[in-house]
A and B are shown apart, each in its own frame.
Chain A
């Protein structure tokens, strides 16, 4: 092979990668700009106050005249509550599974737990939603003797199952990356395996675990379909973990197709979408900060 040919190949490979990379960057920027423009219409062309959007619970956007109310706080609170509950449920299981498959039984972990977790990721969210709707919701109603099981608890459990694989795999990675020197030192000082895990490995892996938790939170926040099927979508603050409520993604998914582009209702939904984007930016920013700590270590 001639040198010229090799050089050509070298540069063409580089060109393809660069073009694709730039395309993705442009795509991200375009989507962000698009959402910024669409999402700000509520405040610019329909002259609503941003505080009304963030802090009022009066949500009644108008489709025709544009004289409605766009207070989205019920949806914001719904999203936050359900995602946080999902984290509370999923994190202990995730951390335990990660410890099990990295420290306690690597063989079982690799042959059984790892494939099972990968399988979880591949299940489409409509399946989680449908199983939640037909199995979990009636189950909650029966166990707690309620007239129906739709609500915060059902939504959180469905989400917890969905974010479990994310948190588990990131946590397992973090644990695997704890320096072997720490383990050797710990054993050298005569620690038991559990002492090693609880006093050395877990504390050293905390930044990595936090990264997983935040990623899980971001996933939970953005999930629409499965949650929408089981939270009841009642437009009210939840009174307990059994009461139905609604969230940002459910409202967007429900009404986007029914409303006409440019109407107050449609624009208010775009504002919700923009808010979701901003929230995920915040999460990613947090991951960056946490990640930096971990490399300094």
Chain B
């Protein structure tokens, strides 16, 4: 009996110790073929590639990186690409330490890393991501001005009737302060104003945030356009009369967007360079659009 307790307590102890670190870096991973070193011939730029690429970081960029990895791997059985998520902070930390080949991030490295760690990092802007304001489908408001949006998210306006909707309390659903999506939204939609804390519900996973907005009356939040495509349980709101679409982002009418970054430590070479070239190629452009991201080459700024 005593021994059984000793075992149970040690399991409880181990469990408690691991929650701290393991949940923070919870990441999905996939590896394809084992790598073998060889040389690339140049009959087609994305054929006969070999070597191995590892990357982690932004979970918003992971689906796209995974799609690129999957389609490259079908043509190149000798190429091994491992795509992990874990968050932009992890991606930037790992690329600064050179523990991965590519560090994915939603934000510029300058926003998270100190100057001494920035040396050598090369930014590859692989695509554009738009962020839309989303509301519960019962909310009748379809358009908000920037001022109204700021008033709502700073907690000054607390009821939808103040901005032309029904008499229904507004429930803010936001992201953690460290989230890349939140910093984009704060900078570009809220003009740098801090969101109200202490009243807002907070979710960090886009799927859970969507669920929260969908089932909470009067809820308002924001989601990347890569998550809003084809969703009927939430409603997108126009900003200053402009619909959040990539066409409006390309033409400069819709302001809430940012680049998705893939950082390399030093100039990319070999398989890593081919992978980044593939992401920027015309061959892959349609996948970027299909997955709900925007074409970075269409941006004027």
- A residues with a Cβ closer than 8 A to B are 24, 28, 31-32, 35, 60, 63-64, 133-134, 137-138, 141, 147-148, 150, 170, 173, 177, 211, 215, 218-219, 221-225, 229, 232-236, 244, 246, 249, 252-263, 265-266, 269-270, 272-274, 276-277, 279-281, 283-284, 287, 291, 295
Residue in A234, A260, A270 whose beta carbon sits within 8 Å of that of B199 in the complex = A234
- CB–CB B89/A266 < 8 A: yes
In whole Å, how far is B48's beta carbon from the nearest beta carbon of chain A? 35
Distance of A109 Cα from B225 Cα, bound (Å): 52
Residues of A within 8 A of B218 (CB): 147
Q: List 29 A-B contacts (CB under 8 A).
A: A31-B17, A133-B208, A147-B169, A147-B218, A148-B216, A148-B219, A150-B201, A150-B212, A150-B216, A215-B12, A219-B15, A222-B12, A222-B15, A224-B23, A234-B197, A234-B201, A236-B199, A244-B201, A249-B23, A257-B25, A257-B90, A258-B87, A258-B89, A258-B180, A259-B178, A270-B20, A280-B13, A283-B12, A291-B5
In whole Å, how far is B26's beta carbon from the nearest beta carbon of chain A? 8
Question: Chain B 199-232 against A: per-residue CB contact (8 Å), 1 yes, 0 no?
Answer: 1111110001001100111110000000000000
Question: Chain B 62-97 against A: per-residue CB contact (8 Å), 1 yes, 0 no?
Answer: 000000000000000000000001111110110010
In whole Å, how far is A158's beta carbon from the nearest beta carbon of chain B? 14
Distance of A232 Cα from B215 Cα, bound (Å): 13
In whole Å, how far is A8's beta carbon from the nearest beta carbon of chain B? 27
- CB–CB A261/B93 < 8 A: yes
Residues of A within 8 A of B17 (CB): 28, 31-32, 35, 277, 280
Question: Chain B 10-26 against A: per-residue CB contact (8 Å), 1 yes, 0 no?
Answer: 10111111011101111
Distance of A216 Cα from B242 Cα, bound (Å): 52
- Most chain A CB inside 10 Å of its own CB: which residue of B5, B23, B59, B180: B23
Find the A residue at minimum CB distance from B182. Answer: A258
Residue in B10, B16, B203 whose beta carbon sits within 8 Å of that of A222 in the complex = B16
List 12 extra interface pairs beyond A234-B202, A252-B19, A259-B89, CB under 8 A: A28-B10, A31-B17, A147-B218, A173-B1, A218-B12, A221-B16, A232-B202, A236-B199, A256-B23, A257-B25, A257-B88, A269-B24
With A63-B112, A269-B24, A287-B9: A236-B198 Cβ-Cβ less than 8 Å: yes
- CB–CB A252/B111 < 8 A: no
Residues of A within 8 A of B27 (CB): 257
Indicate whether B176 reaches chain A with its CB closer than 8 angstroms. yes
Residues of A within 8 A of B180 (CB): 258
In whole Å, how far is A24's beta carbon from the nearest beta carbon of chain B? 8
In whole Å, how far is B75's beta carbon from the nearest beta carbon of chain A? 32
Residue in A35, A219, A259, A291 whose beta carbon sits within 8 Å of that of B12 in the complex = A219
With A234-B199, A235-B197, A291-B2: A273-B12 Cβ-Cβ less than 8 Å: no
Find the A residue at minimum CB distance from B218. Answer: A147
Residues of A within 8 A of B177 (CB): 60, 255
Find the A residue at minimum CB distance from B4. Answer: A173
Residues of A within 8 A of B112 (CB): 63-64, 259-260, 263
Distance of A265 Cα from B183 Cα, bound (Å): 15
Residue in A138, A229, A249, A283 whose beta carbon sits within 8 Å of that of B19 in the complex = A249
Residue in A147, A273, A283 whose beta carbon sits within 8 Å of that of B20 in the complex = A273
With A147-B169, A211-B5, A258-B89: A63-B178 Cβ-Cβ less than 8 Å: yes
Indicate whether B8 reaches chain A with its CB closer than 8 angstroms. yes
- Most chain A CB inside 10 Å of its own CB: which residue of B2, B12, B204: B12
Distance of A173 Cα from B203 Cα, bound (Å): 40
Residues of A within 8 A of B8 (CB): 170, 215
Find the B residue at minimum CB distance from A212. Answer: B8
Find the A residue at minimum CB distance from B93. Answer: A261
Distance of A258 Cα from B217 Cα, bound (Å): 29
Residues of B within 8 A of A35 (CB): 17, 20
Indicate whether B179 reaches chain A with its CB closer than 8 angstroms. yes
Find the B residue at minimum CB distance from A291. Answer: B5
With A63-B112, A249-B23: A28-B13 Cβ-Cβ less than 8 Å: yes
Indicate whether B114 reaches chain A with its CB closer than 8 angstroms. yes
- CB–CB B93/A235 < 8 A: no
In whole Å, how far is B10's beta carbon from the nearest beta carbon of chain A? 8
Residue in A211, A219, A235, A253 whose beta carbon sits within 8 Å of that of B198 in the complex = A235
Residues of B within 8 A of A253 (CB): 23-24, 26
Residue in A229, A232, A269, A284 whose beta carbon sits within 8 Å of that of B9 in the complex = A284
Indicate whether B113 reaches chain A with its CB closer than 8 angstroms. yes
- CB–CB B203/A218 < 8 A: no
Residue in B2, B87, B113, B217 whose beta carbon sits within 8 Å of that of A256 in the complex = B87
Residues of B within 8 A of A270 (CB): 20
Residues of B within 8 A of A263 (CB): 89, 112
Find the A residue at minimum CB distance from B12. Answer: A218
- CB–CB B19/A276 < 8 A: yes
Residues of A within 8 A of B169 (CB): 147
